[in-house]
Each structure stands twice: as structure tokens, then as C-alpha cells.
Structure 1
């Protein structure tokens, strides 16, 4: 990564404009009208990529310094695919109050905040508090980026299979940041909440459990209308779709109970919950989070275009409508002739994706009335 000037600095006149005395005129203009900061500085196209290093990839709580390579990579992807300047910021605290205070203090320097690799359930509270405080988009990518791409992929999987999203029985294995967000996103996108069963390490979420944190309890109240209890084998009996966002291994005995001709999205990285070769024995459509198998569920399909669209529109937050619009745009990049069981999402390198997502998100921001 590097920082480069967008204007030449070759002469004394260039320097006088880029710094003193010319820059003082810009400072005075912004002091008179703070909204000009989005036009006259890089704030309107800059995002902070913020982590506390508590839940990095599949590596866990490795701390802020070891998390920096991932944040740098994220910043590079922002620039490459969305034309968005991003700055990696690794905080040496895992206290939610301190994180909220620090990010709030940093916010005037940025047009958006991308929270990254912050463990659940702390991430839910941190994101909610920042959304309520800041007049700029706040987006925890581990939750919403994954969820948006899963919705896009499942829409297209349903098209390939000749099914309707609302008629699918869906099992979500994992009730952390990604699992909660995926479930909410699927419901927002049209899936039947009652036909979704979510599991954590103790089994199915249902209203009879007394050991659930508030996020899980809210899911239990809106999903699993049949009151299924027990383990993954119980949940998968007759299910059409398995979405794995938990790690661990799901055995073939459990998979054998699924309805034939469905879909398995085993998204744990680097080791999927179900190896694709095994998953193919029990499902017609198989997806993973890995780049060396077909149908990679990759967040890079979502976040560059989402922030590009939000910044272009001058959005103050990212609504559920904007997220669903992003998912639909990703799904629709693939024309009917491009869709197959081995291609339900575009390639992460497909140049059509970010512009399509940005346009859809900007339009949704205008519809939802969340413009600056």
C-alpha cells in the first residue's frame, strides 16, 4: 500500500496550492460549511477499515498487530474493485466502550467505517452504537458482506434448481456474527423465517432454550416455526439447504437426511464444514469460501461496490434495502446463459460486479431516503 497525490507537485505554484497558503482557503470554506469536507477533501471517498484483532479469518483472537495484513489486504481490494481509498486501523483494545469512543473520534476523517474481524456478540453492540452515533455508513463486513453474497448465491441456486426461495427449508450452522447476519439477510430477501433453523454449538435455536444471548434469543423467536430441537442431524432432516458458517465438521450421516437436489454452502475457511466432493453426493449445488473450488462465496463481491454506491449517493447509513439491492445486483450480473450449478455467483475478478452493486446501492439509498 501507499499514499499518492492526485495532483502534480512539481513547481512552487503546485506546492502553494497543495499546502500553505492555498490550503488555508479550503480550511476556511469547510469551517464555514462542514459538509464541504466531503467534496473538498478525500473524506467523501475514504473508508476506515477498523479491527481489534479478536476474530481474524479462521485464526481467532490474534490481536491488532497480527491482524494488520488482513486490513491492508482489505484496503487494497477497496481500491482495486471500488475505487475507494481505505485506511487500515488496528486498535489495541477489545473493550466495546473504548472501540466506540475511538472510532467516533476518528470518524470526521472518513466517509464510512468498515468494521472487520471483531468477535461476536461484541460486534453487534459496537456496530449498533456506531450506527446510532455517526452520520456516515457503518458496516461490519464479517456479518453483512457474507450475508449479502450468500443471499445472491442462494437466489441463483434456486433459479438453477427451478425452486422458489420462499419454499426452501434452510439450515444455518453457526450463530455467530455471520450466522446471525445470514439468517436476517435471507429473511429480508424473501426466505420464510419459519422454515429456517439456526444452530449454535449446543444445537438448534428454539424458544424453549434458556441459555441464549439476546441475538440468539431474537433469532429463536422468529425462526424454526416447527420447534425442531437437538443436533444438526435433526435440523437437516428434510432440509433443502445447508449454510455452514461455524467451522467444525458436519458428518455424512447428518447430510444423508437432506432432501435430494438441494444446496450446500460450506463456507468455513480454510477447511469447509463439508468437503466439496462429499457435499456433491448430497446436493446439486455446492459452494465454499475457497477460491480453488467453484462457487466461491467471497465478500469482495459486495463491500467495494456497497461503499462505492453509498459514498456516491452521500448515504448516512446502509439500510436493509441497500443490502438486498446489493445481493440482487450480484445475482443479476450472471445472465441466464452463464448460470449453472457450478456458477451461481460471478467471479471475484469479474469487472461487472462492483459497478452494478454501486449503482443498485446508490439507487436504494435514494429510495430509502438516507442521503446526507
Structure 2
């Protein structure tokens, strides 16, 4: 085990060194390029003045035409205040930019989405809301990113209500969606039913709170859900309930609604007879004692999602009886990675010109991801990022659901949405390959590193 930790640390250090060197070399991960031909200066008379005035006059008669006559239909903002960046904490908007650029790269490569990093300096959540709303005319959607809790809940709820484009917080919704997808297939494998299983969420931050609400929307009984935070099991008689009601009403509501048996105490008490453990807590192999798996029901399902080191090592979970184990890491089976979610979801809501996104859309997305794995096994409960066919399928399912819910401005069949998404994503990947073949995207100065 010690050797494994040393290898992981050495590999991480190599990634860090390369990231610094290559960031200096490329000076950013994304750039804006023209998509229209310029054969001579006369073409500017079409793309700019005087021809562009006709386009502006047309949009002025119907603002939704901006989705058809400009790039707004395929452009989103990645909006952050830099208050909770990866595992780095509150490092500010400037330091958040490299992470937002990386997110934009994934959006574009996997989903064909033009994503613009927009780190902002704001002093209050109300100011954040004001900035986001002022940006709405420029974008077809907003991806909130790396925002501290519980501010992130307020921002998502407020902006979803007050904006007429989809607003998504990936740390909440993306993680919750891929977690649900993994659990759907895990339950199928062990032969249990959604309405009967007992689910314990260890950690009550953005990801697990969103997941608890999503699981309820997917048919899990709220009475069979228990959340555990650093102070113990969430339940109505906790001494901090008044504080939660004022400062974190989303967590407060879960304390009232979940835990039908009114279990008290710590994680050990919560896990007695549980079918599923989903831990999104502190990184480290001893955060959760692997022996607690023995307290769980037959064929327990264990998701230990902390990065870079899970709360217990998968081998230890299995030694103590876990039937299925998932982590947030790519070097173990069953990586629960929200990169499987957000590129396809945004491809779908953009293609449908959706006015919003909600839990019903997310449940549909989770089932599409789960169903992509036609024969799930204990070692394969979700797709991998290399299975790129997932993304147009996911986009099609999401777009179709927004039509069903009356959220779509653009109506099409599931097959029509699928073809559109597949064409956009495949064309985008072809552009990448061609630019690399031609040397227009320069190779890394020291060649490709393998780890």
C-alpha cells in the first residue's frame, strides 16, 4: 500500500511539473477563431458593416432569433468566483482561470460546446446574481463552477428561477448525475429495488446534498436516505437545526425529510443495515474505516469519491464485503467522473435552445448514461470518457426531455437531436485532428509524456 501511495504521489508531481511548463509554452488552453470564410476584405461588408445591421434589426424584433443568427446557440459561460477551486479552496478568480480553461477544453472536445471562462470578482452572492443575469444576452447557458457551499445552493436556485437559459452547477448536478447513473447499474447488478434500498451519504457538501435531492426525484424513498456530516447523522433533533435553518436551508430540509427511522449518532450507526454508502468527504484512506462495510446489508455498494485519495482503498472495501466499489479515480474500475455528464447535457440543452434544466432532466440523463452500459458488471457500472458515442446519445436524451417538459425553444425527434449532436461533436473532433496533423496545434515541446 505504501508503494502505491508513493507511485501516485510521484505521478501527480510529474503532472504538476508538466502543467506549469506547458502552460507557459501555450499561454492558455483555448482561443477564439473565425468560423466564416474571408476571401477578401469585401467579405467584411457581410460579416460586419453594413450587412450586419440587417441581422441586428432582425434580432431586435425577436430576441430568440439570437440563437439562430449568432453563435449564442452554442456558447456558454463558465462562471466562478474562485471560492472553492478543486481541492485548493478560496484562491480567487485569477487563480481559478487555469481550471476554467481546462473545463472549457473538455466542453469543446467532448461536447462541441464553445465554453468561455468567466472568473469574476464579487463581494456578495447578490452581486454574483447580478453579474450572471447581466451576461444572459451573450450566452445559451451558464455553468457555475467551484463556488463555496452553501452559497452555491443559493446561486443555483436563484439563477434557475430568474434566468431564461439553463443554469447548471457542475459540482452539484454533474456529480449527482453520474453518481445516480452508477448506483442505477449497481442496484441492477445486486438485484435490489430503488424503492427499497437504504442509502447513506457520508459528507453533506454540494455534491451529496444535490445527490440526495436527485435520488428523491429518481424514486428513492426519502425515509431510506441518511446523510452524515462532521457532526454526525442529520436528524431533526440536532442542536444545530436553528443554525441550519438560517444558514443552509437546503441541508436543513434534508434533516427534516430524510432518515425516517430517526437514527442518531455517527456513520457506524447510519450504516447498520444500509445497502449503499456514497462518501464525498475528506480525502484520505482512513477517512472511513473499511471495517464499517461489515455493518451494511448483504451485497453492499460502496462509492468512495474523495480525490486524490478515496476515503478507503477499494481493496479494503472488498475485503470487508463490498460487492461493488467506485471511486473518483481513473486508475481503479468504476470512475465516477462528472466529465461523463456535463458535455452531453449542455450539448442537449443547447441543441433544444432550452430555457432551463431541472431534476427531471437530470434523472433522464442518469438513466441514459446507465443504459449505455448494456451489460453492467461489478467492474463496469459506468462508461469511460473514451466511449465518445455516449455524448451524442446523452445530448439526445436531454434535449428530448426538455421538449417533453416544455422547456425547449426548438422541437425535434430524439433521432433528429441525436444526429445533430453527433454531427457537431464529430465535426469538432475532426477539426482538432486536422489542426494537429497540420501542426496548427503545436505538439508539446518535449514530446508526449506517458505515466
User: TM range, normalised to the smaller chain?
Assistant: over 0.9
Partner of 2:280: 245
SS of 2:260's equivalent? coil
- Within a 5 Å distance, the mapping from 1:160-309 to structure 2 comes to 160-212=189-241, 213=244, 214-248=249-283, 249-281=287-319, 282-309=321-348
Deviation at 1:94, TM superposition (A): 4.8
Partner of 1:130: 159
Deviation at 1:210, TM superposition (A): 3.6
Separation in 2 of the partners of 1:94 and 1:197?
34
Q: Which runs of 5+ in 2 are unaligned?
A: 1-29, 410-451
Partner of 1:63: 92
Separation in 1 of the partners of 2:335 and 2:292?
23
Deviation at 1:332, TM superposition (A): 0.6
Contact 1:57 1:269 in 2 (8 A): no
Q: Which runs of 5+ in 1 are unaligned?
A: none
For the aligned residues, what is the CA RMSD?
1.3
1:363 aligns with 2:400: yes
- Within a 5 Å distance, the mapping from 1:19-168 to structure 2 comes to 19-168=48-197
Moved more, 162-171 or 295-304: 162-171
SS of 1:145's equivalent? helix
Deviation at 1:15, TM superposition (A): 2.1
Separation in 2 of the partners of 1:285 and 1:252?
14
Q: 1:94 to 1:173 in 2, by over 3 A?
A: farther
Greater C-alpha radius of gyration: 2
Deviation track 1:111-132 (CA, whole Å, cap 9, x = no partner) reads 0000011111111111111112
Separation in 2 of the partners of 1:35 and 1:169?
45
SS of 1:280's equivalent? helix
Contact 2:293 2:300 in 1 (8 A): no
Deviation at 1:259, TM superposition (A): 2.3
Separation in 2 of the partners of 1:315 and 1:340?
35
Partner of 1:2: 31
TM-score, normalisation: structure 2:
0.80
Separation in 1 of the partners of 2:52 and 2:307?
47
Aligned length in residues: 370
Separation in 1 of the partners of 2:292 and 2:373?
32
TM-score, normalisation: structure 1:
0.96
- Within a 5 Å distance, the mapping from 1:310-321 to structure 2 comes to 310-321=349-360
SS of 1:71's equivalent? helix
Deviation at 1:87, TM superposition (A): 0.2
Deviation track 1:312-355 (CA, whole Å, cap 9, x = no partner) reads 1121110221111100100011112xx21010000022112111
Contact 1:52 1:94 in 2 (8 A): no
SS of 1:229's equivalent? coil
Deviation at 1:27, TM superposition (A): 1.3
